[in-house]
Structure 1
Amino acid sequence: MRTRRRFPSLPLTLAVVTLMAAPFAVSPAVAGTPGGEHAGPRFATFNAALYRSAEGELAEDLASPDDEQARAVAEVIQRQRPDVLLVNEFDHDGEGRAVELFQRNYLSVGQNGAAPIEYPHTYTAESNTGVASGADLDNDGVAVTEPGEPGYAGDAFGFGEYPGQYGMVVFSRYPVDTDAARAFRTFRWADMPGARLPTDPETGESFYSEEALEVLRLSSKSHWDLPVRLGRGRAVHFLVSHPTPPSFDGPERRNVARNHDEIRFWADYVTPGEGGYIYDDEGARGGLRPGAPFVIAGDLNTDPEDGDGDPEAIARLLDSPRVNGALRPTSEGGTRAAREQEGANGDHSGDPALDTADFADDPGPGNLRVDYVLPSRGLPVRDTGVFWPAAGDPGSEVVETASDHRMVWVDLR
């Protein structure tokens, strides 16, 4: 079981902002220079752990520039300066207040000597987390439909105490073609051919009732295809998601199965001839256009060799014919952390230099490679890495304060 820290925050007064309803674009007053620091666009993913225990609390925390964790998250972003960034675990609210406040009060303000960064294009949309399904998804005999009632999170489409908890947002210094964006939040798990729907190991019967299977969605948050315009009319499809952790399971291993199929979704989507069954939230069918360039990004919650997940899940994606799965972003901090923390890390078979998350070690799965930025074959790559400074090196304290995950990035030519 993974232990996540609840990062400290201060009770603040809520600022009033007016934004478009999600999905929406937020436009700060001053844009940065895309690719200026990297001589090419940097795509990145960062599970920033900017979630809170109550609805609206994140916006309250971000209404002033005093939240310690948010300052640390902003500093990590400012020091790495990604041009296109997925942030996982950023609470979604329908008005986009938290996104606007994070840009205004944190990203637009230099943190600890780092230069401010502006993202003129921001995309977010509804998440399945904390949205009542109306069915008994955890098989406890009761379908809980009211937030705040015991058992509500377990019967939501994606685990969450309120709608939008653990959501996600994309920040971009390049235009996002929102008209061509696709979301797959409502795609039903049972509509995936060969889906690994869980069964009761004692009876061999389906773990989920027929009523549950009629409504249960595949994505625990959402899957988005966002065309990012890099110039000269060329778009790179930013394919982002945050599959459920393959933990907190019973003997039916339903979270392992769902995590596997949420990852498999992208492998099918980008492989010609495999994504015909897929439909988006507008009813359009099919996968990605053959030959279209893409970058798959997110906290996929599965390590290729260690931890609780099914290694076949990530192997299927890394070995997909259109995915450049040979990239191996590393850090010195991951290697040193595994050696110094010991615990479960001592039993791992994977290279700790590839780790992207600092999870509990005893008890716990230890540090794992769960965050990925995977470009399509043919996209020229300049460099890739994990921002995990070794203890005592510049930046080591801020990554610890920010999140239990580390930013992963890839620079394109």
Structure 2
Amino acid sequence: MADTLRLATWHGDFSRKGPGLLVKALAGEDPVPGLDLLAETGADVLLLTQIDYDAGHVALGLLQSRLFALGLEYSHVYAARPNTGRATGRDLDGDGRRGGPRDAQGFGWFAGQGGMAVLSRHPLRAMQDLSGLLWRDLPDSAMRADDLGHDIQRLSSAAHWHLRVETPDGSLDLLTLAATPPVFDGPEDRNGRRNRDEVLLWAHVIDGRLGTPPDAPFAVIGNLNLDPARGDGIRSAPQRLLVHPRLQDPLPGQPTVTWDSTGPMRVSYVLPDRQLRVAGAGVTSPAEGAGPHGLVWVDLVLPEQPSQLPEPEPPPPG
């Protein structure tokens, strides 16, 4: 019988207010909030959706070491430069100045602030990266012709990565994202429209309207930053994803964060392919000092894979 595979995503706070500060925190001897929660959860594959990126993966290497000391070994990691803090040279927020955090491809005070990373017990392979897709080029895009940066604005505020996890029981594809909050703008609802399209990107891929559909069992995983029933935003987007015929929802209606201003809401998701059997799922309590978000985990059983062993040769005649 195949073993279960635990997927998890967490919008824990592994971001700092300046470049190099996360590296400094992880390299020091002081406790780092959230590490105990990760060790206790023991996910086989973990997507972090709020972690600062550096080109040498120094922070990720230090995180691997800190978790190894707590008994959690992640031999494989994946991170690529996100759109957060990626300079455009344009005044995208219309405030008359360039170079601010809202003038970047994705909000960020510096390049790579609050990006994404995947840590895994099993080998990872990049299948496709749609982070460079222009917002206007998404099928059924909600971008308007008069939106600032219409010619250069990427859809992904952080990233959209399609990764493959190679386990002893077979392959599993991850369709990852960390969408922009659908608030903090004006009546033009630019953030709301962009969030809507970020949430729906993988539905277009699954349906064959964009990119390359996954040819292995898969899961949509990450921070949609949108509740299907509560709060601001175009709620039809997660509603559409939750009823997609290829996906199942192991935690219907389960809040993943509680904000003082809005109360409990569901913003982080693991939505497995219907080919996969769900053996368990849950949301943890927030880790002290690591923000208000709980960690979302789902235990999966991969479908039986065809044997890779060669067919036995027939016995000689006679």
Structures share a fold, TM > 0.5?
yes
More helix by share: 1
Once the two structures are superposed, the pairs formed by residues 88-103 of structure 1 within 5 Å of their partners are: 88-103=49-64
SS in structure 1 opposite 2:236?
helix
Query: 2:205 is paired with a residue of what secondary structure?
Result: helix
189-198 or 163-172: bigger deviation: 189-198
The residue aligned with 1:274 is 209
Where 1:213 maps in the other structure, the secondary structure is coil
Tell me what 1:377 maps to: 274
Measure, in 1, the Cα distance between the counterparts of 2:240 and 2:89: 33
Structure 2 counterpart of 1:32: none
CA–CA separation in structure 2 for the residues paired with 1:40 and 1:193:
36
Q: Which residue pairs with 2:123 in the alignment?
A: 175
- Identify the residue that residue 81 of structure 2 maps to in structure 1: 126
Q: Does 1:85 align with 2:46?
A: yes
Alpha-carbon deviation of 1:207? Answer: 4.1
Looking at structure 2, the residues matched to 193 and 164 of structure 1 have their Cα atoms a distance apart, in angstroms, of 27
Q: 2:155 aligns with which of 201, 218, 224?
A: 218
Take 1:75 and 1:157, find their aligned partners in 2: how far apart are those partners? 33
Runs of 4+ in 1 over 6 A off after TM superposition: none
Structure 2 equivalent of residue 194 of structure 1: 140
8 A contact 2:139–2:204 mirrored in 1: no
- Residue of structure 2 in register with 1:240 after alignment: 176
The residue number in structure 2 matching 1:113 is none
1:288 paired with 2:213, answer yes
| Number of aligned residue pairs | 300
- 1:342-399 residue CA offsets vs partner (Å, 9 max, x unmatched): xxxxxxxxx5xx1101212xxx2222100100101111110111112xxxxxxxxx72
CA positional deviation for 1:400:
3.0
CA distance in 2, matches of 1:260, 1:161: 24
Measured after TM superposition, the shift of residue 109 of structure 1 is 2.2
* Deviation sequence 1:221-244 (CA, Å, 0-9, x none): 110000001125x21111111000
C-alpha displacement of 1:41: 0.6
Instruction: Work out the CA distance in 2 between the residues paired with 1:382 and 1:218.
Output: 34
Q: TM-score of the superposition, structure 2-length normalised? A: 0.90
In structure 2, the residue matched to 1:228 is: 165
TM-score normalised per structure 1: 0.70
Q: Which ranges in structure 1 are unaligned for 5 or more consecutive residues?
A: 1-34, 111-115, 146-151, 199-205, 276-285, 330-350, 389-397
Distance 1:287 1:41 in 2: 24
Q: How do 1:148-163 and structure 2 match up within 5 A?
A: 152-163=100-111
- Residues 107-134 of structure 1: per-residue CA shift (max 9 Å, x gap): 1223xxxxx1010000011010111112
Alignment of 1:61 with 2:22, yes or no, is: no
Percent identity of paired positions between Structure 1 and Structure 2: 39
CA displacement 1:42-73 (0-9 Å, x = unmatched):
00101111100111111011112314xx2x31
Counterpart check, 1:313 vs 2:261: no
**Equivalence for 2:257:** 357
One-letter amino acid of the structure 2 residue matched with residue 182 of structure 1: Q
Whole-Å separation in 2 of the counterparts to 1:52 and 1:62: 11
